[in-house]
Amino acid sequence: MKKAKKLWLEKRDAVRAWKEIPRNHQSNEASLLHGLSKFYATGDHWSSLRGLPRNMRTLYFHAFQSYLWNHLATHRIKEYGLLPVVGDLVFIDSQTEASLGTDLEIVGLDEACLGIGEDSKDGNMGNSPPVLKVLSQKDLTNYTIFDVVIPIEGSEVKIPGNSILKAYSDKLLVENGISEGFPSFRPRLGRYHVIKNPKV
């Protein structure tokens, strides 16, 4: 396996690399090299990945989403600092805010989109689906940076209303080869993380 990896790394010769691997050897690397040996020369990278187990394919996808999120969160803090700003998104209890007579601009999202039961554990949202609120000028004194949520890029995700952040999100996608919307292969449509430890 070591020799096969070295061949691929130095020569990009997937066929020779695949021949180095014993036929009874099973691993994600072997599956990937097998796919590359058949499809790399044609540029069909998706078919090269199809031999991997689905959980491994989604792991790559999630890692890319996390990469985009790190850039987006860093950019948010660099541009706007450590205070909430107009257009930021926060999770809210819509019933509580409505009872206080708050005039809400609310973004409703379903459970599939938010991945309730996993990332949403960070929030105090109970069993009901969380609701995203877009902050206005009069909301800013009621929230801190730790209430602000940043989206993980997905096909059905709302980017905060800050114009710089939206422009950066679009630019980031284009720079990574996504120019016509997020890929249709989407094991998670869109999630949101709270900024826990804001360091640029």
Which of 49, 42, 4 lies closest to 25, judged by CA? 4
Last residue of a domain, one of 13, 28, 49: 49
pLDDT of res. 126 = 47
pLDDT of res. 193 = 57
d(CA 182, CA 158): 12
Neighbouring C-alpha atoms within 13 Å toward the C-beta of 92? 24
27 with 119, same domain?
no
Q: What's the longest Cα–Cα distance across the chain?
A: 70
177: CB partners within 8 A, 6+ apart: none
Could you tell me whether strands 131-134 and 106-108 are parallel, antiparallel, or unpaired per DSSP bridges? antiparallel
Q: Count of domains in the chain?
A: 2
For the segment 118-138, what is each residue's pLDDT rounded down to a tens digit? 444 444 444 555 688 889 999
pLDDT of 172 higher than 80: yes
Domain-located, residue 200? no
Residue 5 tokens read as 């990896």
pLDDT of 8 higher than 90: yes
127 with 155, same domain?
yes
The whole domain housing 17 covers 2-49
Contact 119, 193 (CB under 8 A): yes
pLDDT of res. 138 = 93
45 with 79, same domain?
no
Residue with tokens 């031999």: 51
Which of 141, 147, 158 lies closest to 90, judged by CA? 147
Domain-located, residue 65? yes
What mean pLDDT is predicted for residues 163-180? 78
Domain-located, residue 186? yes
Domain-located, residue 14? yes
86 with 137, same domain?
yes
36 with 75, same domain?
no
